[in-house]
Amino acid sequence: MLVTRSNVLLLVEFKMEMQDVFEMSDLGIMNYFLGMEIYQCSSGIFISQRKYTVDILKKFKLESCKEVATPLAQNEKISKNDGEKLEEPFAYRSLVGNLLYLTATRPNLMFPTSLLSRFMSPFNNVHMGVAKRVLKYVRGVKLDGSADSDWAGSVDDMKNTLGYVFTIGSGVICWNSRKQEVVAQSIVEAEYISLAAAANQGIWLRKLLTDLGQEQSSPTELCCDNKSAIAIAQNPVQHGRTKHINVKFHSIREAEKNSLIKLHCCSTNVQLANIMTKALPKSRLEFLRLKLGMSKENLKEEC
């Protein structure tokens, strides 16, 4: 959750007015308060509840649970008459209360939490199961990637440029742009080689996240805007078209077969890795820059 510069100025002015009326002590820049982590910079204030979230997961013994992609099952309806009455009602009320406080920085949890709060009395094991699903969704840290390539980008040796971007949640954690090692004979081959490089990086990141306690239970989605390249990776029958490609680039087939990588076709308009492989018009560049989470700050040069 980001508080903008204008809101920061209002808070500063409010603080100065309060100091004129009440006796107060300035304890300096706030970093942590009531379960909220605060990071302050010149462009605004970033507020998160990461530690609070981890504490909730530990409290309900779900820190090692398998995460889910959505907080609620689609089309699921819950009623006050569902399931059996809980023997320990305090646990459910405590969990809903924790989730309500978590909505301070996570508005995407507002609907499921408000839905669960309707069953504070009576409530049952079905309601508790739905509440725990919301926690499993909160725990989820999903790794996603995008891969792209240009076509004969180098006029000197006709080699292509490959690029990939990996994100966790809404944050970009890894990116790369480099010239491919071989000369591709088609745009499909160029995209296929780019996918292979991104898949190798994705597998390494999955192992790193496992070491950090964030094991990926589902395949890492790898987006590509070329359907033919995806077909070659998924269908061994296409071997006749790819027998001239270096064997090492076919490792992506095994990665998908082992459910480490899941190839996904996306539109060129939302292809993040596009910014890593070619020169773009201003509007397109600014759009992708925004999608990468980059913000522009106007700096006044000091004399």
d(CA 31, CA 47): 9
Q: Per residue in 72-112, pLDDT tens? A: 887 777 777 776 777 777 888 899 999 988 888 777 788 88
pLDDT on residue 300: 39
Closest CA to 229 of 143, 145, 147, 166: 147
Q: What percent of the chain has pLDDT over 70?
A: 81
pLDDT on residue 155: 62
Q: Any idea which fold 143-291 has? A: Nucleotidyltransferase; domain 5 (3.30.420)
Domain boundaries, the chain: 2-48, 51-139, 143-291
Read off the tokens for 239. Answer: 């071997």
pLDDT band at 201; cut points 50, 70, 90: very high
Read off the tokens for 56. Answer: 């909730």
Please, where are the H alpha helices in the chain? 5-21, 50-59, 89-102, 110-116, 125-139, 187-211, 227-234, 239-242, 251-257, 282-291
Q: Per residue in 65-76, pLDDT tens? A: 777 877 888 777
